[in-house]
Every structure is written in C-alpha cells, then in structure tokens.
Amino acid sequence: MIDPTAKTWLEVSRSALTHNVGAIRALLEDGTDFMAVVKSNAYGHGLEPVASAVAERVDWFGVDSLAEAEKLRGLPGLADQKILILGFTPAAAHRPLVQGGFRSVVYDLETARSLNEAAASLGVTARVHLKIETGTTRQGIWPAELPDFAAQVAELPALKVEGIYTHFANIEDTSDASYAQLQLSRFKEAMQTLRAAGLEPSVRHATCSAAAMLFPETHFDLARVGISLYGLWSSALTCQNLQANGTHCELRPALTWKTRIAQVKAVPAGTPISYGLTEKVDRDSRVAVLPVGYWDGYDRRLSSVGQVLVRGQRAKVLGRVCMNMMMVDVTGINGVRTGEEVVLLGRQGGETISAEELAEHIGTINYEVVTRINPLLPRNIVD
C-alpha cells in the first residue's frame, strides 16, 4: 500500500526484479549460483523490500555490513539464508557476526585470527571467503603473500575457508578484455596456491553484473549480481558489447521515484525562480512547487537542467533545487492541480526519466543516482 500521507516515495516493481533475476540466470553456466547483492540499501531500492521480493529466486545475498546482514536475517523466510558480508567489519563486531551465522570476507591475518577466536569461544565454525587482490588495488590479499597467508589460516581450527573470490577493475567500461583476462589468470593461480596449502574452497566467485553477461569463463560457482538485478546496465558499453556478441538480455528498471505537487502558481514573465535568482521565466508561466530537494537525494546539480514527468509530459526544473523543495515549469501541461503525482525517476505515460539521463546531467553514473536517494524515504513494493 502506498501511504497517502507520503509526499515523496519510491515504488519498486517485484515483477521487474524477478524478471531480471531470470534474465541473468539464463546467461549463467550450469551449476553457478546467484547472489543478489543488496548492499547500500539494495542500491537505493530498499534492502528489506528487495530481499523479500527475490528471496525465493536467489541462492545467496551479498551485503556490506553486519547491520545489513542482521536486517536480512530478521526478515521472514531468511533465517537460514546464506549471507556474505563483503565489506569491512570491525573486530568488535566479529562475535555477533559469527553468532549470526554470516559469512565474512577475509584479506588480513588480524581479521582471520579475530574471527577464529570468536568462533572458538562460541563453539562454532566461522565460514570465511578469502578476497584475492588481482588488480583492483582495493580489499584483497596480494598473490605474493598468499602462500604464507594460506599456511597460517590453515592452522586456525575454528575457521573454515568456504570461499575464494576477486573483483574486476576494468570489465564494464571497455571492449578490451586484456586486463580482465590478466586478473582472471591471477585468480586461477591463487586457487592453485590455496590447493597446494591444503585449502579447497567450495565457492569460487569473480563474476559481477557485466562479467555475468559477457564472460562465461568467470562464472565458477557463484555470480555476484548487483546493479543489473535492479534493471540497470553497469555501463552503456556493457550493453553494446553484449549486443555485439549476439547475446540478448532484457533488463527492466525496477525503481520509480515519485512526489506530489504542493502548489501551482501563475508567474509573470521576467520573474526570478528560487535562490540566487539564477533563472527567470521568459514568458507568463505556470510553476509547480514540488516538496522534494537535495536532502531527499535529488541532486542540486540538476538545477535548471533536470526534468520531471507531470501527466506523462516533461516539465523542466526551474532555478536552483532547494533542500526540501524545487520548482518545475508546467506552463504547457493542461489542468495540473495540487496533489497530483509527479515522477522524478521512472516512467509515466509514454515518457521515461532514466537514472542514466540524470547521471549524464550531473556527471556521474547510474549507481550513484539511485544509491544516494535518501534511505529514510518510504520504499513500496508494487507488482
């Protein structure tokens, strides 16, 4: 149910999410499990509603923090779900992490030892996934350090190395696969190193959304699917490369961001709009005031350039976006009234405002557009 008292809210399509899971699964190699990456509030779409919508169709969840993992564990039907914490977890949180039955990334001996100690004190086993540094220069164990690292981890009795993984640095924004292939070869060498140390992880994973679509050789045992779960392409080039390969994958954006018209007012030609008097209307106009602004996540750089949808037609943002309000030009749209729905992101009628369009205006990527929508705004699952 959409809260009739809400002035700004998000609608997330269950059918789009489940379609995207199916579309990407169809590209995976047989035996490859599907991880729904729902970190950062499910890329802005809402952790709880997204997880509940796809839980029966995925094999794993990936999160960034213990807090996110605990929220998932508390949802109906997710008590036994496999959840991997991909981000940094402070040592003080290792005991509740292990107690909750969550998997954790490990890339340094201090973390490995702390998790082992926590597990031993609880009389359980901590399942971990070793992150290998293959060329992103982010979290990860350098391959040269891996033999000694593996030998020491193998001596920790309450630690089980369940997984090994890496992350690609240059697979979305290029048609040159040479660096990705270099990383893949380093990852395969790391697996051999672990095997030589007597460690044989059962879950090998390297696949992100783009790799899931473009490089079957990266699929291994598990595909970590983030941005494309939500119907968004990791880059325009990923889509182009997929089409060039002759592979079809239809993604359906799941998110619609809405607000309501707070006021409609007649404005004479030459009247300045909003702070700084940065824009004046050049004709007698009708201006709609919207109760949404940069606090909500509607970027201030969309001032005077962004557009929204009113009655299925585009309406330009006028002047500067304010903290909690913004103004749009509805002069050419007949019959606009206070209380009407406005679409900030998504489809209305035959028109669409995409995350990519907003990203282009503000010089960023679609990931940032959706993840920066204020997490306090209500998220509603719709069909």
- Known catalytic residues are 39, 275
**What amino acid is encoded at 280 in this protein?**
K
Say if CB 154 and CB 146 are below 8 A apart: no
Q: What is the DSSP string of 166-222?
A: ---SSSSS-S--HHHHHHHHHHHHHHHHHHHTT---SEEEEE-HHHHHH-GGG-TTE
Query: 232 φ, ψ to 5°?
Result: -115, 140
Given the DSSP bridges, would you call strands 159-165 and 203-207 parallel, antiparallel or unpaired? parallel
Q: CA–CA separation, 217 vs 233, rounded Å?
A: 20
b vs e for 305-324, b when ≥16 Cβ sit within 10 Å of the residue's Cβ? ebbbbbbebebebbbbbbee
Q: CA–CA separation, 154 vs 195, rounded Å?
A: 11
Strands (E), the chain: 8-13, 33-37, 60-63, 82-85, 103-106, 126-131, 159-165, 203-207, 222-225, 255-260, 263-267, 272-273, 279-280, 285-290, 307-310, 313-318, 326-329, 341-348, 351-353, 379-382
Q: CA–CA separation, 276 vs 271, rounded Å?
A: 12
